Homo-oligomer: A and B are copies of this chain.
Amino acid sequence: MPDTRSAPAPTGAPSAPGPADVARARRRLAGRVQRTPLVRSDQLDALCGARLWLKAENLQRGGSFKVRGALLAVEELAAAGSRGVLAQSTGNHAIAVALAARAHRLPTLIVLPSDAPPAKVGRIREAGARVVFAGTTLAERVARVAELRVRHGYDVVDPYENPYVVAGQGTASAELLEQAADEGVALDSLVVPIGGGSALAGACLAAAGHGTAVLGAEPAAVPAFTAALRAGGPVTVPARHTLADGLRPDRIGDLPYSLASPVARVLTVSEEDIADALRTALLTARLLVEPAAATALAGALAHAAGAGRGTDIGVLLSGGNVEPALVATLLAGAVEAPRVAVAS
């Protein structure tokens, strides 16, 4: 059973969401989130030898797909009479919760790692939330959330264990599949980044019955899903540094693991390949993405190399909240044409 204690589920809430919950989430979110474009790039296809379908959630409200789950979860809490909301995050979930809570005029407290990217911290504060910093690991943030919850009586919007969050994140993959189908394409596979696992679990729900393989891409530096698959359940891995600040959770959530582990396969991506893919997204597909999204692209490019011509691969470009200084540094090393990133 998934642990949903930290996000009390109102009447009728699914403890573990299914494909029908993703469909319901889409109806509820219609007109409230961007239907972001599915971007094609002839140049990118020529580089990798497959056809890539890029779901540009870097163009989403709040700069990432996470607004989808946060809107639903916060709306549920507001309807239940919440006094305020509380969330821990590496950044994007926090921006999304802050934006959603502002719409309901709920006070918001956000717990971030002490080294969260300033661009993300700035956007959270712009949305009117108060920011508290707590260490660099998931456990440190979770402990701080527990303490603040008691002190303020706020409701926690968990980024991994909340069924509304997972169903909401799944709507990005559901849209991707539908937009490809509108072009007459049934995707062979769908690659999403793995942080705490909500994107992956949502993708598994969205892809159910489509004949589309679901692949999760995670940094080799933080192989939380790989370790969970080996151990037969979520385990904490050493918190090593990765460019992909959004993929730093060192443990897969219980709910995402229960939904994704029977279905999804994993692609492991090196730091160099994340950097290469961020440059490729920018210079070849002309989209600014954050390193978490670049991790999915790197995984897709590696997968494409083995998948062969004519293969159709969807890629969830999960967000675009990236530090300008990081982009400048990555570009400064790219004086010639971008190389294709190949995951190891």
Contact = CB atoms under 8 A, between A and B. Distances in A.
A283 B56 CA distance: 15
Interface size bracket, A side? 20 to 34
B327 A63 contact: no
Contacts of A324: 279, 283, 331, 334-335, 338
Given A286-B287, A325-B335, A42 B59 contact: no
A180 interface: no
- Number of copies of this chain in the oligomer? 2
A204 to B, nearest CB: 27
Contacts of A56: 37
A58 interface: yes
Q: Which of A43, A58, A331, A334 is packed against the most chain B CB atoms within 10 Å? A: A331
A37 B35 CA distance: 10
Interface of A: 34, 36-37, 39-43, 56, 58-59, 61, 63, 122, 279, 282-283, 285-289, 320, 324-325, 327-328, 331-332, 334-335, 337-338
13 contacts: A34-B40, A37-B56, A37-B59, A41-B59, A58-B286, A282-B288, A282-B327, A283-B288, A286-B288, A286-B320, A324-B335, A328-B332, A332-B332
Given A59-B286, A282-B288, A324-B334, 13 more contacts: A37-B39, A37-B56, A37-B59, A59-B285, A59-B287, A279-B324, A282-B327, A283-B288, A286-B288, A286-B289, A324-B335, A331-B331, A332-B332
